[in-house]
A = this chain, B = another copy of it.
Amino acid sequence: MGGVNTGASTAERAPKQDRSRATRQRLLEAAVACLAEHGWTGSTVAVVAERAGVSRGAAQHHFPTREDLFTAAVEYVAEERSTALRALFPQGAADDRRAVVSALVDLYTGPLFRAALHLWVAASNEDQLRPRVTELEARVGRETHRIAVDLLAADESHPGTRETVQGLLDMARGLGLANLLTDDKARRERVVTQWAALLDEVLDSAP
């Protein structure tokens, strides 16, 4: 990508690689949307390929198994969302903790969380899926924790601070769950306001 042009064959290859990347990306985005809307049972490689406007063969070339496609999809979208979250607070350590808590909680509402939840729940009953999803969740969880610590300017060398941040992310996940069947936005905003205030006190009063 963007290297020195060493002749016609590279010039031809580059657009082909771009197309391949674009196809892959369309498949990943379609997979998350499909999972969020139809759940694990209704999500197959064929359904996703059709939704992405990609042939079944091309989809299977990129993702040999259903597990490959859907775990890659949730990871891809989670990375996109992490990048977007960091971009929201370019200064890093934030002076507005209410905004940071609100943005963290937003990670757990919307299509990505719905998709991840379907994958998670399916994995709890399917031996083939469980190790893949367990490993994925651990990785995404660690990254989200790192972002939260940075954006909240939390000093994890203080005893208890690590668990305070973890509990906050557990709360965010629980708020996401509460939003699954009904629009829980009004209540969620009140909880976010209250806990952001508590967090502000706790993180700044650490010895």
Binding site for B on A (CB under 8 A): 37-39, 41-42, 114, 117-118, 120-125, 130, 133-134, 137-138, 160, 163-164, 166-178, 180-182, 187, 190-191, 193-195, 197-198, 202
Contact = CB atoms under 8 A, between A and B. Distances in A.
A102 B167 CA distance: 13
B125 A181 contact: no
A82 B160 CA distance: 30
* Interface SS majority for chain A: helix
Contact of A195 (B125, B163, B172): B163
Contacts of A123: 181
Nearest to A193: B163
Nearest to A175: B170
A168 B194 CA distance: 11
Nearest to A166: B191
B202 A198 contact: yes
A29 to B, nearest CB: 19
A195 B175 contact: no
17 contacts: A39-B121, A114-B124, A117-B177, A120-B180, A133-B181, A163-B191, A163-B193, A164-B198, A166-B190, A167-B171, A168-B171, A169-B174, A172-B174, A174-B175, A174-B177, A177-B177, A198-B202
Given A120-B177, A163-B193, 5 more contacts: A39-B121, A118-B121, A124-B181, A160-B197, A198-B202
B173 A178 contact: yes
Contacts of A167: 171, 191, 194-195
B38 A125 contact: yes
Contacts of A195: 163-164, 167
B117 A39 contact: no
A121 B117 contact: yes
Contacts of A173: 173-174, 177-178
